[in-house]
Chains A and B, each alone.
Chain A
């Protein structure tokens, strides 16, 4: 049955009838220096088949050796997910023939994962906390990358030929598997997105993964099933593979709920299968049916010996754990005194670290937020880069701010100076000097401009004299114009009030 012939049920309507059950398998690529079982570099973006040695190519006679860093990273992830860490565990071979897998088996873990029985508390946007139980987190190796040339749809079927790049083959992965997640109801897509975002944040915070979804560092398979409101057993689930952006996770779960409701409403059965996600149409289509034919013939990897984790080792790793992101956020928000909405915007902009660094460098919380969330974000958006990639540093902000506070420049000029800093012209002070951007502090020059402005706007002058002090603002514009923006607004106000003999 293709997507086109399926009747989608309105999302809200679907969830009036059914309860969704979710489950996620998230693959995290670790950023170890070398691969999981070989000494070849683990690096992204290099020329195809350059980060490979005889082990990665599965040449005759080769043997794997476990990367200790890979194991440590996996344990760190397990600890961060509140998991138990296995005292001993081993690797197994998952046997299947596919040309991106050089040995035609994947070295993975089967019935003894390194981490198991954990949980993660997920905070939704409105602050509601939802606990997701973690079944296991296990180690395995990534496959190579196939590029199918010719034929339709970039799939292996019908391709004229396929190219394979083994640079990724053997890159360490940790697969995090949840227990079935029930009770999310209509918030299922939101929870799904928040869960994957939380995993991404945790592994990034641990420093064990670059966590860039667009590079496939974090990849999500989303399991969805529906059960009637009064049912006691889970429905049949589908597994949508490679839902590899946060937005897509939300959309894929939403789509599957609507689609499966349509299938069930029509009196049909949901087929247990893997499904493909299509970003362009935001739909899933049927992949491969899951059946008993999927027999990976797992057996213990005889070329590797069991991993034994001592208590001392685990405690040493536990001591390395950074503060969990959610706790850190609570602490920072309190320290900085941001309102909930302000802080959420900072989080969503990915600027928590930048602001924290800026405050640590000496800026006030308000100044740090003003610059990062204001002008820097605006310029970054125009340049289509992350704010932190723009070239502005905590030092830039601190310097700009002290120039403003020292009345050397005003806000408007400071924004210009920032642009010149980003353009690489030097530090804010250098730019101010070089470009002669210092504000006009010469009161006689200012005084003349103010006199002109007051002469042109006698009505405004009267208002001020009458006690409407906010009317001063109307004079500032012309004064700025006359001084080409180099006047200090505060000083203008003071002089006006002085001249008119009004108490400020």
Chain B
């Protein structure tokens, strides 16, 4: 494994600036890594599309600017030349966008998402598009129409979902940076089970324009990285107001990297950390709970004031989420009908009516989990059921927000395990959607309330990563970076190196499995 791919994005950026390596070298090293570990029977399968040519061209452009020096070199973004992977839910000109679905197989977007425009403007070479549960619906990436992504820590296990591809790519050193989307935990839960860092920003702080909508009121694009600082820098790059997204906040992007650097001193003096009583204990694996408790001890020793907070309505959050999210899904996915773009399947027999063409297209194009949610949401919005289901769920949403408000009276940040369990084996929850949905029990409340959350590596349970989640009030994203970076520092001091260094040698694991 080449040394260059082991660098964090900020460390790589530093070397690029110092002229110790080139962007072309860095991109090539990652492309080599992808070639080595991503494909084949036992490969990670994080990438659905590898964008080698364009990535190298952008890298060469950055290198040329650096070599020429002067004002243009000075003006380069700090992450210029650092490669990035993009969840295949975000539309990109020049690369296919599938949303992990057969419905969009081969579809090329004629426009770039706002975050992609920003990535291009900052000249980050895009390595390619990463795998996901179809239309971001799932917690394991097993619902992708393009095969499972494997967890680099154990190739027989799931990488989380829906953004399993982005998390696995970063964990497997195939990319130092990735973009994800988080509707109910799709950035944070994969981050937790792959030993990486994932952030769901405050709702509205990153433009959703060009992120294929799953549930509009819950979706947020966010960073996936190996360090808290890297997430902060990437978040600053992609954040900010966008007039094309009406739900985008007008606020300027906060100083997130500064917050992460402050946290990286490991000092938490005066920070009140609230432990959400309802997101611990029963339902959480013993190893997960143990790592969580150890983290609390470390933070306490670093000066944090640990307080217990109660969020009594969180127990309804999962239920409310599984009404609001599918309701929005049923409407957002209606556009996929074979009329304008994407897949079109004609009925095999019978009359060729528009309804039947739409029906056979949707029957063939969508997978079971997508259909399940469309049906659920269609039902929840039906006349006569709307008040009982969608209406009640919206009330719960308000109650969850109030729980947060009350909790943040007592604490600066809240903390919980990111996921109740470590990565599970493929197929172990496929027949039980409810068990699958429980993976997101700790991440969903943040989406319902629109507040920011981060997952940072918290250690291992039976050799598999455990994630610790910090939550902060809306628009206070800086707080999760500070707390996350502090815990990262405290744990790395304890372990002697980042958790990711304890991951098994991937190439050997792939060969071993193949043998």
Contacts and interface: CB of A to CB of B under 8 A. Distances in A.
Given A97-B355, A99-B339, A59 B381 contact: no
Most buried by B among A60, A61, A62: A60
Interface in B70-120: 90-91, 97, 99, 104, 107, 109-111, 113
A61 B90 contact: yes
Contacts of A102: 335, 340
Given A104-B337, A299-B327, A61 B209 contact: yes
B334 A103 contact: yes
Contact of A60 (B109, B244, B330, B382): B109
Contacts of B246: 63-66, 303-305
A59 B341 contact: yes
Contacts of A164: 339
A299 B91 contact: no
A105 interface: yes
Interface stretch (B4-12, B210-218, B466-474): B210-218
A70 to B, nearest CB: 14
Interface string B242-278: 0111110000000000000000000000000000000
A61 B334 contact: no
A interface SS class: loop
A95 interface: yes
A61 B109 contact: yes
Given A59-B341, A63-B244, A95 B111 contact: no
A299 B97 CA distance: 28
A162 interface: yes
Interface string A87-102: 0000001010101001
Interface string B196-218: 00000000000011111101110
A303 B247 contact: yes
B502 to A, nearest CB: 38
A478 interface: no
B313 interface: no
Given A63-B245, A95-B381, A156 B354 contact: yes
A292 interface: yes
A305 B111 contact: no
A29 to B, nearest CB: 23
A61 B381 contact: no
A95 B331 CA distance: 7
**Size bin of chain A's contact surface:** 20 to 34
Interface in B291-335: 327-328, 330-331, 334-335
A58 B99 CA distance: 16
Contacts of A62: 209-210
B216 A302 contact: yes
B18 interface: no
A65 B110 CA distance: 19
**Size bin of chain B's contact surface:** 35 or more
Contacts of B113: 61
Interface in A301-321: 302-305
Contacts of B353: 157
A325 to B, nearest CB: 35
Contacts of A435: none
Interface in A8-56: 54
Contacts of A97: 334, 337, 355, 358
Contact of B331 (A99, A292, A297): A297
A60 B333 CA distance: 9
B386 interface: yes
B28 interface: no
Contacts of B111: 54, 59, 61
Contact of B378 (A57, A99, A297): A297
Contacts of A54: 110-111
A297 B381 contact: yes
A497 to B, nearest CB: 80
Contacts of A64: 246
Contact of A61 (B210, B215, B243, B337): B210
Contacts of A156: 354
Nearest to B362: A97
A295 interface: yes
B335 A58 contact: yes
B390 interface: yes
Interface in B326-368: 327-328, 330-331, 334-337, 339-341, 353-355, 358
A297 B330 contact: yes
Nearest to B339: A99
Contact of B91 (A61, A66, A95, A302): A61
Contact of B335 (A65, A104, A162): A104
B97 A60 contact: yes
Contacts of A295: 382-383
A61 B390 contact: no
A303 B212 CA distance: 12
Given A59-B110, A97-B355, A299 B243 contact: no
A292 B113 CA distance: 40
B117 to A, nearest CB: 12
A159 B337 CA distance: 19
B99 A60 contact: yes
Contacts of B382: 295, 297
A295 B378 CA distance: 10
B353 to A, nearest CB: 8
Given A57-B340, A58-B335, A63-B246, 16 more contacts: A60-B107, A60-B336, A60-B341, A61-B97, A61-B109, A63-B245, A64-B246, A66-B246, A93-B331, A97-B334, A102-B340, A104-B335, A295-B382, A303-B247, A304-B247, A305-B247
Interface of B: 90-91, 97, 99, 104, 107, 109-111, 113, 208-213, 215-217, 243-247, 327-328, 330-331, 334-337, 339-341, 353-355, 358, 378, 381-383, 386, 390
6 contacts: A60-B336, A61-B91, A62-B210, A64-B246, A95-B330, A305-B246
Interface of A: 54, 57-66, 93, 95, 97, 99, 102-105, 156-157, 162, 164, 292, 295, 297-299, 302-305
The 8 lowest CB-CB distance pairs between A and B, nearest first, are A104-B334, A297-B381, A302-B216, A302-B217, A61-B210, A60-B212, A61-B91, A58-B335
